[in-house]
Structure 1
Amino acid sequence: MDHFELRGGELHAEGVPLSRLATEVGTPVYVYSTATLTRHYTVLRDAVAAHPTAFGDALIAFAVKANSNLSVLATLARLGCGADTVSEGEIRRALKAGVPPGKIIFSGVGKTDAELAYALDVGVRQINVESPAELDRLIAVAAGKGAVPDIAIRVNPKIGAGGHAKITTGGEGDKFGVPADEALALYARAAASPHVNPVGLACHIGSQITDLAPLEAAFRLLTDMTRTLRSQNLSVTRLDLGGGLGVPYAGGAQTASPADYAAMAARVLEGLEVEAAFEPGRLLAANAGVLLSRVIQITDRADGRRFVVLDSAMNDLIRPAMYDAFHEVKPVTPRPGPDRACDIVGPICETGDTFARDRLLPPLEAEDLVVFSGAGAYGAVMSSEYNTRPLVPEVLVDGDRWAVVRARPSWDEMLAREAVADWL
């Protein structure tokens, strides 16, 4: 469910007409709904809270990579949400947005020594170690600082899942984590060091997962490994279950519910007496945001093909070009008439700047406004200034009020970031 609905024949973000935002902010622009972010978080929180004996003092840590806007993070932080981070920059964003260090998890396959040192300085909840080499580097950094961080070993369960090969992270050939047999030995080696404190295991097998079976298989592997480690007199008090639960990008698409997801995880973890961590990203943010765009022109060819040319492009929303991702496209003010097959494209000089082929759309004309639904995750956060197009702005709506939470840069601001070599 989201809070982008037709009112009086026009699409609104909560109480704000999208046409007003287009007029006052310009297009393209990302628009986020506070009510939707709040609802999605509370639905997952309540689903997890229904199983206290299975999950202990559970932590929900939003995957900052899905949407790193400070106002989005602050909205979730005020609800009690933590942060799953994969860089020093994301840790800094989480802290600035009000997430306590004790609710920040630091993951990632390529943390630098400087990033590890920063995580130790601020006192994050735990560092998820993804390789023997990283453990060695972390031990050295921690020893130099006299710190003893809590760590989890990220396991590669050889179970890959997700909506696209590029967002599958738990398969045998994927770069993330440590194979299960090696992870057991690495955990024991960490426990022998006075400079780190291994507290648990972690895994994350992919993104946009609509079937619970691969997630359950991964969680069962973690529980089996926990029992094995405990049989070796090694303490395991936390399991980081990652994220990845999918969302319905297309109307009518079926996905597992947060309640079903939590119930499945509870069945697997019941009796293990661990604290569970959940790291949703897309689940909370995707349907809380839209990309608002304007039609530049309609191009009809003699062969019958129709191109709807928008002022948004692949630099604003790269998911269709990178992942063949589907986003519903809706007119802000629908016109009567039959749908027609269209190619939805942007103005960038790339054939890949195509959002959809042969998509059935209602009648559209130049200057009409449309939205890409489900654009709140991996949208603005992956945008760029390719073709020297200004970075797309972001707006947060809360009821009848709204604010620009990332401004569109001016041409002068864009050019001022570069310097011409002094010999030119």
Structure 2
Amino acid sequence: MDHFTYKQGVLHAEDVPLTEIAAQVGTPFYVYSTATLLRHYRLFDEALDGMDHLVCYAMKAASNQAILKTLGDAGAGMDVVSGGEYARAKAAGVPGERIVFSGVGKTEAEIRAALEGGIRQFNVESEPEMDVLNRVALELGTKAPITVRVNPDVDARTHAKIATGKSENKFGIPIARAREVYAIASRMEGIEVVGIDVHIGSQLTELEPFEQAYQKVAELTETLRADGHDIRRLDLGGGLGIPYTRANSAPPLPVEYGALIKRTLGHLGCEIEIEPGRLIAGNAGLMVAAVVYVKSGEGRDFLILDAAMNDLIRPAMYDAHHDIVPVQEPAAGIEQRAFDIVGPVCETGDTFARQRMMPPVPPGSLVAFRSAGAYGAVMSSEYNTRPLIPEVLVKDDQFAVIRARPTIDEIINRDSVPSWL
């Protein structure tokens, strides 16, 4: 469910017509719904009711300060994967005890900053990383709380580029070596083992891969406890998918996911952490663009938009689908035509959809890309010297620009020309 609906013939974000935002900020732009963000966070929180738990928003999905503060003020923790994301979370007012640091390539500088600023735990991905954590913690006279990310060799049945739990992926330590690695960690004076971490991928649309992974984690928990380790926290990652097309069946609901966690891991008495990102932010955001030209080609027609692959790269990168709808509600039964929907970047890959059925959308009209809140603005770039597009947050009948569009001069002035030129 989201809070983007047609009212009086115009698509609204909550109680704000998208045409009003477009008139003030120009197109293209991203727009997020506060009500949807909070609803999706609370669905996860409620799904784990009765268990000691923390929902840590995976902020790589959408990391604008306004989004982080909205969720942080509601009680969410944050899952960060870089020093920059850690700094963003702290700047949004999220305390260190609610920040989890994931990622395979944490640098010494990032580790030091997190230990000095406060951290809930590091999800350790390798033995060399654990060595650095131990050394930096000892230098600072503290202990680094860790979980070890185990790779359970489970097929997440998702896109190859976002699967993370198979043996050939770069993530984590093979689960078969977990006892050995935990034994090493227990001998390090700068390390405090607090639990186990697992994350098998993103955009999962069925529960069975989660169940396979969590059963392995349950067995490992009991084994490690028998070895003398105080396993009191299980970080289960994120990855629950969203319905990118309304024509397809919906992925499992958070309440079903929560029931699976309780069934497979509830008997262990561990604190549970989950790290949803896409399901919290994905359907909470739209990208709105304007039609620049309607072009007739050889055997096909094109809708050329003022948005491009640099603004929303998911279709080019993952062959991802986004429903694209007119902002002005089409009349019931109106005839539709097939279009290739493209942007102005000089690459054939700058294609959002091929042979998509659309009602009439003449030049100047607005279209909205649904389910664009996750991995949209955060993956955008200034390719072709196209400015990053604005982000807008809506709450009820109010809206605010939460990232402004830079001017061309601002982009150019970031460059430095050497003195010899």
What TM-score do you get using the length of structure 1 for normalisation? 0.97
> In the alignment, what sits opposite 2:6?
6
> In the alignment, what sits opposite 1:27?
27
Q: 2:412 aligns with which of 411, 415, 423?
A: 415
SS in 1 for 2:5: strand
2:287 is the counterpart of 1:299: no
> Counterparts of 1:168 and 1:131 in 2: how far apart (Å)?
18
Q: Which stretch shifts more, 329-338 or 134-143?
A: 329-338
SS in 1 for 2:280: helix
Alignment map for 1:317-396 (pairs within 5 Å): 317-336=312-331, 337-396=334-393
2:112 is the counterpart of 1:117: yes
> Counterparts of 2:81 and 2:371 in 1: how far apart (Å)?
23
> In the alignment, what sits opposite 2:56?
61
SS in 2 for 1:6: strand
Number of matched pairs: 418
Q: 1:126 aligns with which of 85, 101, 121?
A: 121
Deviation track 1:190-229 (CA, whole Å, cap 9, x = no partner) reads: 1111111011110110000011000111111111001001
> In the alignment, what sits opposite 1:280?
276
> Counterparts of 1:352 and 1:249 in 2: how far apart (Å)?
20
> In the alignment, what sits opposite 2:236?
241
> Counterparts of 2:114 and 2:314 in 1: how far apart (Å)?
30
Is the 1:160–1:172 Cα contact (8 Å) retained in structure 2? no
2:166 is the counterpart of 1:174: no
SS in 1 for 2:367: strand
> In the alignment, what sits opposite 2:154?
159
Is the 2:146–2:193 Cα contact (8 Å) retained in structure 1? yes
What is the alpha-carbon root mean square deviation over aligned residues? 0.9
Is the 2:6–2:329 Cα contact (8 Å) retained in structure 1? no
What TM-score do you get using the length of structure 2 for normalisation? 0.98
Query: How far is 1:160 from its partner?
Result: 3.0
Q: 1:266 aligns with which of 253, 262, 265?
A: 262
Aligned residues: percent identity? 52
Deviation track 1:309-355 (CA, whole Å, cap 9, x = no partner) reads: 00000000000000010000000003342111110000000000000
SS in 2 for 1:30: strand
> Counterparts of 2:378 and 2:385 in 1: how far apart (Å)?
17
Deviation track 1:353-389 (CA, whole Å, cap 9, x = no partner) reads: 0001011111111001000000000000000000000
> Counterparts of 2:115 and 2:220 in 1: how far apart (Å)?
27
SS in 1 for 2:267: coil
> Counterparts of 2:408 and 2:153 in 1: how far apart (Å)?
47
Query: How far is 1:162 from its partner?
Result: 4.9
Structure 2 residues not aligned, in runs of 5+: none
> In the alignment, what sits opposite 1:17?
17
Deviation track 1:268-322 (CA, whole Å, cap 9, x = no partner) reads: 0121010000000001000000000000010012x33010000000000000000
Structure 1 residues not aligned, in runs of 5+: none
